[in-house]
Amino acid sequence: MENTTNMPEDQLIVNTPKSSISVYIRVLIVFIVLAAAGTAFFFLRRPPITTPSKVVSKTNTWKTYTNAKFNFTIEYPSDLIVSEISGSNKNGASFSDAISIAAGKTLLNYVNQTLEEYTKIAGSETENRTSLASYKKVSTTNGIVGYKTTWMMQGRSMNGAPPSQGESESLPITYFEIPGTKTELIRVELLKKEYLETYEKMLKTVRIMAPLTPNPTIDETAVLKYVIKKYIASKRNKKEDSLIITVSKIEGNYAQGGISNDEGGGMWFASKEEGAWMPVWSGNGTIECSTFTLYPNFPTNMIPECYDSVKQDVVQR
């Protein structure tokens, strides 16, 4: 006979299978723990990322860099180290390898464009610069207008390392025009991001003067021969080819010389007025004193005496 014990229903133990939900929870917990451990390991082993701090000059003393070849200047804090660009060009300098200024030829067609138009495409002068990222008109304290630009750049290989992925924005380049030329520009470039504040201050100090062109050398003798020949040919109704003009002395704005042809010879004197040579007298004999009313400063060593029509005699000047 079986012994059976009757128990109240509320005391019966019901055996049920484990829920599948609890298994999922355990798996999830294990996954989270492993992921957290892996992340911690990655960050502990990875070298720290350093962000360059802003460099602010500690000096209130500024100096001036002058480029004599292209006739421009820029001021810079005296604690920056100036390095002239090497080579025969002598077209600029760098400052602590953080900021540079240089004049150089344009690689694109600038002749038919304004500076504003050209700087919007100038980035293509430089390798890996694909498109204009930012553009701003700037003015120096002397009123010189330039254009500051940044460009999107493709990643490229550095020291054998594979190129970085994607694009990044370049540091600024500011362009200034050189008066009198459409084949060269001045570029001021930021080379280290932490010097941005100093770069902005230096931009304000750029000065660009007109190119130093020497005064053209004028062959005064040739000019005098041309002027006197024209004058004598017209006055005496002679052919220019028949006249021989010589220049014996040029003294400041005064000159003298001789005339000759098949018929004989004579003298001439000339004075320069407002940059142009003008005949004063030509012929033979003694000049009348009244001639010098218009030329009171004509050198007496060229014409020491003249004929006084009142006294009807030759007098010393």
The CATH number assigned to the domain holding 289 equals 3.30.200
Query: Which of 182, 208, 234 delimits the end of a domain?
Result: 208
In this structure, the answer to whether residues 199 and 94 fall within a common structural domain is yes
In this structure, the answer to whether residues 152 and 80 fall within a common structural domain is yes
Q: Are 188 and 100 in contact (CB under 8 A)?
A: yes
Locate 73 and state its tokens.
């200047």
**DSSP state letter for 311:** T
Instruction: Indicate the number of domains in the chain.
Output: 2
Domain around 270: 220-316
Question: At 256, which helix (H) or strand (E)?
Answer: strand 254-261
Interatomic CA distance for residues 249 and 240, integer angstroms: 22
pLDDT at 216: 61
Q: Are 131 and 151 in contact (CB under 8 A)?
A: yes
In this structure, the answer to whether residues 201 and 288 fall within a common structural domain is no
In this structure, the answer to whether residues 68 and 148 fall within a common structural domain is yes
Q: What are phi and psi of 6, to 5 degrees?
A: -80, 120
pLDDT at 10: 45
In this structure, the answer to whether residues 66 and 202 fall within a common structural domain is yes
**CA distances (Å), origin 7, targets 1, 3, 96, 275, 310:** 19, 13, 95, 138, 170
In this structure, the answer to whether residues 142 and 163 fall within a common structural domain is yes
In this structure, the answer to whether residues 192 and 310 fall within a common structural domain is no
**CA distances (Å), origin 8, targets 1, 3, 5, 14, 112:** 22, 16, 10, 13, 106
In this structure, the answer to whether residues 197 and 235 fall within a common structural domain is no
In this structure, the answer to whether residues 95 and 198 fall within a common structural domain is yes
Alpha helix segments (H runs only) across the chain: 20-45, 115-119, 196-203, 220-236
Total residues belonging to the chain: 317
The reply to whether 80 falls in a domain is yes
Q: Work out the burial of residue 311: count CB atoms within 10 Å of its CB; fewer than 13 is exposed, 13-18 middle, 19 or more buried.
A: exposed
> Which residue, among 201, 182, 186, 155, has the nearest Cα to 92 in the 3D structure?
186
The reply to whether 16 falls in a domain is no
pLDDT at 112: 76
pLDDT at 129: 77
Amino acid at 147: Y
Task: Indicate which CATH number applies to the domain containing 91.
Answer: 3.40.1000.10
**DSSP state letter for 105:** E
Q: In what order do the strands lie in the sheet with 254-261?
A: 244-251, 254-261, 264-273, 276-283
Residues ≥6 apart with Cβ < 8 Å to 15: none
Q: Are 245 and 252 in contact (CB under 8 A)?
A: no
10-residue mean pLDDT profile of the chain (317 residues): values are: 47 47 63 62 50 65 92 95 80 95 79 84 74 92 93 66 68 91 89 95 91 66 93 90 94 94 92 89 91 91 93 92
Entry pTM? 0.51
Question: At 255, which helix (H) or strand (E)?
Answer: strand 254-261
pLDDT at 13: 44
Q: What are phi and psi of 21, to 5 degrees?
A: -65, -40
